[in-house]
Amino acid sequence: MADMDDIEVIAFGEIDDGVLRDMAAAVGGVLGADVHPGRSLPIPTGSCEPRRGQYHAQRFLEALADRGRQGGAIMLGVTGLDLFVPRLNFVFGAADRSRRVAVISLARLDAGFYGEMPDAGVLRERAVKEAVHEIGHILGLDHCRDPACIMFFSQTIADTDAKGPGFCEICRWKMAGSA
């Protein structure tokens, strides 16, 4: 498993600074890492799939990898756009372990997406869970069978809401054993 070093959070397009700050602080607390903001990036050229009305997550990962990094930092992109990968209708996020980059989408994490009243607290909690999940992949973890573990694969927002912000005992053991 890779060393964590620190985490750089990078906005793609317009993301509320408060959401980014709150998310970065909470992610740092869960992972015990130094999480800091990086320079924002534009939406990657060619990432929009007009037929789907969504954006290809891989293009965001490539943009992060192309940007370069300070030291060995993990780079976490955050966008408000709806992301997808081939063979899936949507993704809350995606990671590239070898390049130490990940991206999350706030689009489907926002209660407003489901016709509910927007709730900044719920959005923050969901964003933290998704960020920790994707960073877990960068650190060498695969999906977990425990629905309460942060590494459980979320097929729905209910799956995300049901899992905790931390790792189950088995995933913590895997992380500790590979460090």
What residues are labeled active site? 134
Rounded CA separation 107/91 (Å) = 10
Rounded CA separation 3/33 (Å) = 11
The total number of residues shown for the chain amounts to 179
Answer for the pair 76, 7: CB distance below 8 angstroms, yes or no.
Answer: yes
Answer for the pair 23, 131: CB distance below 8 angstroms, yes or no.
Answer: yes
Closest CA to 93 of 142, 127, 48, 51: 127
Q: Which amino acid is at 148?
A: A
Rounded CA separation 64/117 (Å) = 32
Give every strand in the sheet of 83-84, ordered side by side: 48-49, 54-56, 83-84
Q: Which amino acid is at 155?
A: Q
**What SS3 class is residue 83?**
strand
